[in-house]
């Protein structure tokens, strides 16, 4: 006796899950239709990448080796990235690129972009090390033209008795916080849950 295998069984499971969700009214029919249209690209025109009137170039900048998150400030036209270098992927920094003047050097070789590392001058971190271990961030454009950053920081666990790093990090668990910074990354506050 052969069982269900391959794409047929996945389709059957998906169809069953959708039918149950609609019957139990967990997923309204209108949202289901929108999800199917989005998933199957109904009403969308799919074009090859060559359709876009831009060229892609390799960017050679050590600050941009391992970027994991980004946010564009529409008011300042700057792209902010959470990056680290390839040797120290554990600790990340915020990097900013000016979209109006990225500093491209079109000299025939690898393209270079001018990126600035944003400092955190008054952020002490855990145990006074000043390090950030970013897992994500977002920004908020402020009315005065500034930018406020909300940075998810998975810092090492701290022993509450000593204020130092916990001896057994695996047992202590993650010490996730949200750090709030202004545009120059002036520390505003730390939010701990």
* Beta strands across the sheet bearing 175-182: 134-141, 147-155, 175-182, 187-192
**pLDDT tens digits, 40-53:** 777 778 788 778 77
Q: Spell out the domain ranges in the chain.
A: 6-46, 62-192
Is the pLDDT score of 6 beyond 60? no
Calpha distance 171→81 (Å, rounded)? 31
Mean pLDDT of 30-58: 75
Domain 62-192 belongs to what topology? Neuraminidase (2.120.10)
State the average pLDDT for the chain. Answer: 73
Share of the chain above pLDDT 90, in %: 1
| β-bridge partners, 78 | 73, 98
- Mean per-residue pLDDT, 79-99: 67
Of residues 99 and 26, the one with the higher pLDDT is 26
pLDDT of residue 93: 65
Please determine, for residue 108, whether its predicted confidence score (pLDDT) is greater than 50.
no
């Amino acid at each position: 006796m052969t069982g269900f295998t391959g794409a047929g069984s996945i389709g059957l499971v998906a169809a069953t899950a959708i039918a149950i969700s609609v019957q139990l009214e967990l997923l309204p029919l209108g949202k289901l239709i929108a999800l199917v249209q989005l998933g199957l690209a109904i009403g969308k025109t799919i074009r090859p990448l060559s359709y876009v009137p831009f060229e892609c170039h390799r960017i050679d900048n050590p600050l941009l080796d391992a970027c994991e998150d980004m946010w564009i400030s529409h008011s300042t036209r700057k792209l902010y990235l959470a990056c680290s270098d390839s040797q120290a992927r554990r600790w990340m920094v915020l990097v900013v690129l000016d979209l109006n003047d990225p500093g491209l050097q079109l000299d025939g070789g690898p393209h270079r972009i001018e990126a600035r590392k944003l400092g955190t001058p008054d952020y002490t971190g855990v145990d006074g090390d000043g390090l950030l271990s970013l897992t994500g961030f977002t920004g908020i454009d402020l009315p005065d033209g500034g930018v406020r950053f909300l940075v998810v920081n998975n810092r090492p666990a701290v022993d509450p008795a000593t204020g130092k790093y916990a001896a057994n990090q695996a047992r202590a668990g993650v010490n996730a916080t949200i750090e709030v910074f202004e545009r120059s990354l002036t520390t505003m506050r730390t939010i701990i849950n």
